[in-house]
Structure formats: structure tokens, C-alpha cells
Amino acid sequence: MITPEQFTDFHKDVLKEIGNIGAGNAATALSKLVHKSVDMSVPSVELVPFNEVTELIGGAEMVVAATFLRVSGDAPGNMFFILSITEAVHLTQQLTGDQSITEETILDLEISRSALQETGNILAGSYLSSFSDFTGLKLAPSVPFLTVDMVAAVLSHGLIEMSQVSDFAIIIDTQLIDSQRNKTGVEGHFLLLPDPESFQTIFQALGVPIK
Amino acid sequence: MNKTIEVVQVGIADYQIAKEHQHLRTVGLGSCVGVVLYDLHSHVAGLAHIMLPSSNISKGSSFNLAKYADTAIPAMVSELNHTFNTTRNRLHAKIAGGAQMFQFSNQSDTMRVGPRNVEAVKETLQSLNIPILVEEIGGTNGRTIEFDPVTSKLTVRTIYKGTTTI
């Protein structure tokens, strides 16, 4: 099994391309949903110690709305769509037309809950289907799970598989950005965390030599 | 009297030891469990941020003692004993964390890691005869905790639900 510590720059570039294609499609889906143009950052693929994972998103205690999906199939893994709480409130207000949604009520109200969950579902779904098309691997997302909490508490859940083999996580991170740089509920992070065994499958599917 | 308090940060899969004028802090415990071991008389304490229940499931080449309940707690006990001459029978424990961050209908083992961590922590403490004085465990919220070895108070903060001291 290839462990993240053994990755070459070429391996990381291949993973970046997955982030690029996946988030590109997801950005298009989000843009259609909110009728705004959505830009995307260049994906980053980082090998980070667990302690620093939360720094990617803005600090361990930052409050975020996170949709989590467990990916099963040929290359199992974990996927997160993460919005800062302010962005999540904007997004749900926009999608539902209900301006009374606040940081405190976003998880309690059925309508904002399902708006967020469904957004995560659509975006992660389009990310994964392009990942699947690109690699020819069969991937099936679970139903989306939603929570609002501190980044560290949320992300540590996605590190469990990797933590059994390593103290490092390999995270494919792509950020979505509103074209006008306004806070309009579209600035989010896609994080893909393949299980340790999945990297070999992904590289093999793309004909990338392991060593 | 007015000595500044230094806050010792404990990372994920890590443990640290502190004495008077120091606080132990760990941020964002989700399914992880924070285990505080302290000695009332000598005002020293250790805090571990435990990620997984058992070192048996380790498949890696490198091995981090502080990651697993069954290895982190004994390691912390022996460090406390060696550095500060505490004895095991004077140690007490306070634990927090072990939440289930996402509600799954499909209760696979990985998804239940919070409750499994708590069970493993309790078993390990019991086998070492260290009593748990208080616990703040389970639920669906992340927690940030801070411990003062002098007062042996543990402060637990959750978002939107405020701060409690146990």
C-alpha cells in the first residue's frame, strides 16, 4: 500500500486534477442553484499532520456548517462540503427566501436544514460523478449528514480511517469563491479524504506508477 | 499571587503534562476523548486527546502512543509518576468528549468511534484503578476543554450551549 508520505509531486498533481475536475463541476452546479457566478481556487493537495488540518479551514474553533458524505465503492473515502457559518446562513436565506434564519436556528429549522443538506448533496454528487467519470471507478455517496460545530470536531470525524495507518492526512482541498468577492453564501471548501487503501486504486485506474 | 497562567495546548493524538501556573487545553474534541489525570496534592496533571480506542487497530509503520486509549493513558500515568513522583493511587480522572458528530442510521464501527473511545478510556482507567470523578461525554456537539491543576476544575465549552465547569 502506498502511504501519503511516499507521494511524489506527480502523485499530488494527479490528485489535484481530481479536485479540479470535481470542484469545477460542483461550482457549475452551485452557480445554477444560486444564479451567481462562482469561481474556484487552484486545488491544493496537502500532506498535513492531523494538528494542522484545521488550519486549512480557518482554525480549530471556527464554527462551520459541514455536510459529510461517506463514499463507498471502488475507492472509499470521506467527503466534506464546508461553509463558514455566516456563508451558510446567507446561502440558506437565499435558497429559502426566509430572512429570519440565524446561526442559532439554522440546524433547528427543517427548511434551512434540508436546504443545506440538499446543497451539499448536489455539490458533492457532481464532484463525485466527475471523479468517477475521470477515473472510471465506481463511487457511491451515502446520504448527506449535516452538522454545525467547531472545525476540529467536525473534521476529526473524517480522519478516523487515515489515523489507523498514519499521523498525516492527505487532503484534496478546493475552495469556491464568489466572483464579486461578496459574502453571498458560496465560499466553501470541498475536502476529499480518500481512505488509505484507495490511493493505490485511484493511481492504478489512471495508469500512474506507484513508485 | 498574580503569576501569569501559561496555557499548554494539547493537539489531536497528543498528551501534555502541566503543573501549577499552567492550564491544559485541547480544542474541538468531536468523537475524540479528552482524558485529564490529576493529583490533587501535588497540583500536577496530564491531558490526553485520544482519537482511537485501541492500538490493536493500528496498521501503520509509525506508532503514536498518544493516539490510542489503551496506550496514551498508561504512558501519561508513567510520565506523571516519573516526573512528579505522583503515585497511581492518588490519581483521579475527568473525561470529556466522545460525541457522535453525525447521526448515522447505519451504525458501522467507524461511525460509532465516539462511544467506543469512551468505553475504551473507561476500561483502561478501571484496569489502572484510577477513579473517574466526573464526565461530560456523548451527545452530538464538539467540545473545547481546559483544566486547572490547582483547582482541578475542568471547563467545557460547546458552541451555542455555553460553558460549564465540572
**Is residue A211 in some structural domain?**
no
Report which listed range, B12-21, B58-67, B104-113, is most confident. Answer: B12-21
**How far is residue A154's CA from residue A210's CA, in Å, rounded to a whole number?**
31
- Of A37 and B105, more confident: A37
Q: How many CB atoms lie within 10 A of CB B160?
A: 11
Rounded distance between C-alpha atoms, residue B112 and residue B63, angstroms = 23
Q: Is the pLDDT of residue B46 over 70?
A: yes
Task: Specify the CATH number for the domain of residue A52.
Answer: 3.40.1550.10
Residues contacting residue A10 through CB under 8 Å, at least 6 positions apart:
A208
Residue A116 has pLDDT above 60, yes or no: yes
Reported as a pLDDT band with limits 50, 70 and 90, residue B158 is: very high
pLDDT digit string (tens) for B138-156? 988 999 999 999 999 999 9
| Residue among A68, A103, A164 whose CB faces B59 most closely | A164
A90 within a domain of the structure (yes/no): yes
What is residue B106's three-state secondary structure? coil
| Residues of B (115-134) whose Cβ lies below 8 Å from A | none
CA distances from B111 to A120, A156, B31, B36 (A): 19, 12, 9, 25
Catalytic positions of B, written as ranges = 32
Does residue A102 lie within any of the structural domains? yes
Mean pLDDT confidence for A193-207? 89
> Per the structure, how many domains does chain A have?
1
pLDDT, residue B18, reads: 93
Query: How many domains does chain B contain in total?
Result: 1
Q: If DSSP codes are grouped into helix, strand and coil, which group holds residue A121?
A: helix
CATH number of the domain residue B109 falls in = 3.30.1330.200
- Confidence at residue B34, expressed as pLDDT on a 0 to 100 scale: 97
Q: Range of B44's domain?
A: 6-165
Mean of pLDDT values over A113-121: 88
Cβ atoms B66, B72 nearer than 8 A:
yes
pLDDT score of A184: 53
Contact at CB, B12 and A154, closer than 8 angstroms: no
**How far is it, in rounded angstroms, from Cα A117 to Cα B55?**
35
Which of A54, A104, A157 lies closest to B31 in CB terms? A157
What pLDDT was estimated at residue A186? Answer: 57
Most A CBs within 10 Å, among B159, B160, B161, B163, to test the A interface: B159
Q: Is residue A129 part of a domain?
A: yes
DSSP B139: S
Residue B93 falls inside a structural domain:
yes
Q: Are A30 and A176 in contact (CB under 8 A)?
A: yes
Confidence of residue A180 (pLDDT cuts 50, 70, 90): low
Total CB pairs under 8 A between chain A and B: 98
In a mutational test of the B interface, the residue from A61, A103, A146, A147 whose CB has the highest number of chain B CBs within 10 Å is A147
Q: What is the CA radius of gyration of chain B?
A: 15
d(CA B41, CA B49): 24
Average pLDDT of chain A is 84
**Residues of B whose CB is below 8 A from A157:** 30-31, 101-102, 113
**Do B142 and B159 meet the contact criterion of CB atoms below 8 Å apart?**
yes
Question: Which pLDDT does position B131 carry in this prediction?
Answer: 94
Judged by a CB distance cut-off of 8 A, whether residue B64 touches chain A is yes
Chain segment A95-107, per-residue pLDDT in tens: 888 888 888 888 8
- Put simply, the chain A residues between 39 and 78 with a CB less than 8 A from any chain B CB are 50-51, 54, 60-61, 63, 68
Residues of chain B contacting A147 with CB distance shorter than 8 Å = 101-102, 140
Cell of B96: 470529556
Of B36 and A161, which is predicted with more confidence?
A: B36
Residue from the list B12, B61, B62 with its beta carbon closest to the beta carbon of A156: B12
Lowest mean pLDDT among A58-67, A109-118, A187-196, B80-89: B80-89
Q: Three-class SS of residue A189?
A: strand
Note whether A157 contacts B: Cβ–Cβ < 8 A: yes
Q: Are A166 and A48 in contact (CB under 8 A)?
A: no
pLDDT recorded at residue B60? 62
A87 close contact with B: CB closer than 8 A: no
Q: What's the grid cell of residue B64?
A: 503514536
What ipTM was predicted for this assembly? 0.83
**Does B1 reside within a domain?**
no
Q: Is-contact A3 A198, C-beta < 8 A?
A: no
Rg (CA), chain A: 16
In a domain, A151, yes or no: yes
Range of the domain at A65: 4-205
A210 located within any domain: no
Average pLDDT of chain B?
Answer: 88
Average pLDDT value for residue range A39-53 = 80
